[in-house]
Amino acid sequence: MSWITFIWSMTSGICLTLGAVHFVVWTRRRDEWANLVFSITAAAAAGYAVLDLLALRAQTPAEYGEWMRWMLLLGMVEGVLIACFIRLYLRAGRLWLFWLICGLRVLMLVLNFVAGPNFYFREITAVHPMPLLGELISHPHGVLHPWAMLMQLSLLLIIVFAIDAARTAAKRSEGPRAWVLGGLVAVGFSLALVSYALYALEILPSTFSSQLFLSLIVVMGYELSLDVLRAGQLSRDLIESQQRMRLAASSADLSIWEWDIVRDEIWTTEKGRERAGLGAYERIDFARYLQSVHPEDREPTQRAVRQALEGRGEFEAEYRVVGREGATRWVVARGHVERNTQGKPLRLRGVSVDVTERKRAEESARNAQELMAAVFNSVPGLLYLYTEDGRLIQWNRQHEVMTGYTAEELLGFRIQGWFDEENWAQASKVLAKIFSEGYAQTEITLKRKNGEELPLFATGSRVMIDGKPHMVGIATDISLRKQADAELRRLQGEVAHVSRVSTMGQLSTALAHELNQPLGAILSNAEAAEMLLEADPPALGQVREILADIRKDDERAGEVIRRMRALLRKRELEIQSLDLGELIHNVLGLVSGDAALRKVTVRAEVDSRPLPIRGDRVHLQQVLLNLLVNALDAVAGNPSEERRVSVQAARNRAGEIEVSVIDNGPGIPPAQLARLFEPFFTTKPDGMGMGISIARTIVQAHNGRIWAE
SS (H, E, C) 210-265: HHHHHHHHHHHHHHHHHHHHHHHHHHHHHHHHHHHHHHHHHHCCEEEEEEECCCCE
Q: What is the largest CA-CA distance in the chain?
A: 207
The pLDDT score that the predictor gives to residue 660 is: 94
Q: Is the peptide bond before 537 cis (omega within 30 degrees of 0)?
A: yes
Per-residue pLDDT tens digits for 162-172 = 888 888 887 76
Q: Tally the C-alpha atoms within 13 A of residue 136's C-alpha that lie toward its C-beta.
A: 8
The pLDDT score that the predictor gives to residue 170 is: 79
Across-strand partners of 293?
A: 321
Banded pLDDT at 583 (limits 50, 70, 90): confident
**What mean pLDDT is predicted for residues 550-575?**
62
Banded pLDDT at 341 (limits 50, 70, 90): confident
| Cα–Cα distance measured from residue 691 to residue 682, given in angstroms and rounded to the nearest whole number | 9
Concatenated DSSP letters for 651-667?
E-TTS-EEEEEEE-SS-
The pLDDT score that the predictor gives to residue 470 is: 92
**What mean pLDDT is predicted for residues 590-600?**
81
Lowest mean pLDDT among 44-48, 181-185, 251-255: 251-255
Across-strand partners of 384?
A: 395, 473
Q: Is the pTM of the predicted complex or chain greater than 0.75? A: no
Among 84-88, 413-417, 560-564, the range with the most confident prediction by mean pLDDT is 413-417
Angle between helices 61-90 and 149-169 (to 10 degrees): 20
One-letter amino acid of 532: L
Lowest mean pLDDT among 3-7, 225-229, 364-368, 451-455: 225-229
Per-residue pLDDT tens digits for 617-627 = 878 887 888 89
Higher pLDDT, 706 or 172: 706
**Alpha carbon distances (Å) from 164 to 94, 103, 170, 181:** 8, 19, 10, 12
- By three-state DSSP, how is residue 345 classified? strand
Share of the chain above pLDDT 90, in %: 12
Cα angle for residues 468, 473, 477 (degrees, 5° grid): 155
- The yes-or-no verdict on residue 511 having pLDDT over 60 is no
Average confidence score pLDDT of the chain: 79
Across-strand partners of 267?
A: 258
Banded pLDDT at 210 (limits 50, 70, 90): low
**What mean pLDDT is predicted for residues 364-389?**
81
The pLDDT score that the predictor gives to residue 7 is: 77
**What mean pLDDT is predicted for residues 385-398?**
87
**What mean pLDDT is predicted for residues 176-202?**
72
The pLDDT score that the predictor gives to residue 520 is: 61
Per-residue pLDDT tens digits for 665-682 = 998 888 888 788 887 777
Concatenated DSSP letters for 132-178?
ETTEEEEEEEEEE-GGGHHHHHHHHHHHHHHHHHHHHHIIIIIHHHH
**What mean pLDDT is predicted for residues 244-259?**
66
**What mean pLDDT is predicted for residues 209-220?**
67
Banded pLDDT at 303 (limits 50, 70, 90): very high
Higher pLDDT, 532 or 53: 53
Among 174-188, 323-337, 487-501, the range with the most confident prediction by mean pLDDT is 323-337
The pLDDT score that the predictor gives to residue 175 is: 59
The pLDDT score that the predictor gives to residue 657 is: 92
Cβ 319 vs Cβ 331: under 8 Å: yes
**Alpha carbon distances (Å) from 383 to 122, 373, 378, 386, 419:** 112, 11, 10, 10, 17
Burial group, residue 414, by CB count within 10 angstroms (0-12, 13-18, 19+): exposed
| Cα–Cα distance measured from residue 370 to residue 314, given in angstroms and rounded to the nearest whole number | 35
CA 616 to chain centre: 59
- The yes-or-no verdict on residue 236 having pLDDT over 90 is no
Within 10 angstroms of residue 350's Cβ, the number of other Cβ atoms is 21
The pLDDT score that the predictor gives to residue 315 is: 92
- The yes-or-no verdict on residue 42 having pLDDT over 70 is yes
- The yes-or-no verdict on residue 423 having pLDDT over 70 is yes
| Cα–Cα distance measured from residue 158 to residue 80, given in angstroms and rounded to the nearest whole number | 9
The pLDDT score that the predictor gives to residue 229 is: 56
